[in-house]
Amino acid sequence: MNQQTAVRTTTYREAVREALCEALRRDERVFLMGEDVGHYGGCYAVSKGMLTEFGPERIRDTPLCESGFVGVGIGAALGGMRPIVEVMTVNFSLLALDQIVNNAATLLHMSGGQFNVPLVIRMATGAGKQLAAQHAHSFEGWYAHIPGIRVLSPATLEDARGMLWTALEDPDPVLIFENNTLYNMEGILADDAGPVEIDHARVRRPGRDITLITYSASLFKSLDAAEIVVKDGIEVEVIDLRTLRPLDDATYIASIAKTHRVLIVDEGWRSGGLSAEISARITEQAFYDLDLPVERLCTAEVPIPYAGHMEEAALPQVDKIVAIIRRMMDHG
């Protein structure tokens, strides 16, 4: 972004909404479907007002049947359309696992390369708003396990605005996970913000002492923690993964070669999670660059509690990140 670029203050929600409206205007094959996306304006008000502009053919309210309407989205994609399917929360996507994992992710392979499935599925993810265990988990790491799909996790307004169009140009299924705690987040966005690439992680803060790998809402907790430990003379390099499948190993491996210490902050669970996969890759590719074992901070291995103080205690928080960073430097 250069100094002449006009910018404005907006929210993550509006950035997503702008991306949806742009896609609908640019390509008549694009339509949005999901529970309450039309008359209600979306569970998180992302699609508010879009029914009036685009009409019921392109903003389609669906029954409460994730398996059914995700299946319709797959069929529409096979038929040449560019559907954007909204699943209200990641927990409800489990009702469509058969469609996502056994159909969307496999059809290109099982057809011998004859049938692409250019489907985009958006869903809210994450905890922090007291929505309890059936509405607040982070299953991105589960989907990142599945060949045949791309998994995106936009944290910044720029990515919330720009990842959708790039995803729609992908000939294969793309899942976009939007952390529900980010929708009200305000920030600066360029007036001419548009599509962004979705192949690489980004260094959001350069540093020399510790590499901190994270994504989604945990990015901002990590940046806050990095700002705190600057007072201790500790410079943390914060990496935003952005794309969880395929992972961009090269960016964080290059960082570790410089810092020789690494902390992974992941809102998913620790056992068998995304942080475990990244830790294994670091051990395979950069073991001799490490001065300390890989550290991980994840959500407590419990269903997300409803009570606010318990939910906060279960999730990675700034004070926990700061404590681990200081301990790693003390033992380095």
Active-site residues, by number, are 66, 135
Q: Which sign, positive or negative, has the C-alpha torsion 102, 104, 107, 110?
A: negative
Closest CA relative to residue 48, chosen from 56, 39, 57: 39
Q: To which residue do tokens 């922090």 refer?
A: 128
Which residues, in sequence order, are bridge partners of residue 189? 8
DSSP-derived 3-state class of residue 151: strand
Kindly report the number of other CB atoms within 10 A of residue 295's CB atom: 18
H helices within 11-49, ranges in order?
12-26
Q: Which residues contact 52 (CB under 8 A, 6 or more apart)?
A: none
E strand or H helix at 55 = none
| Residue 106, both tokens | 């496999």
Length of the chain: 332
DSSP-derived 3-state class of residue 213: strand
Angle formed by the axes of helices 318-330 and 218-229, nearest 10°: 50
For residues 43 and 35, the answer to whether their CB atoms sit within 8 Å is: yes
Q: Phi, psi at residue 113, to the nearest 5°?
A: 85, 10
DSSP-derived 3-state class of residue 159: helix
Task: Rounding to the nearest 10 degrees, give the CA dihedral for residues 166, 73, 269, 185.
Answer: 50
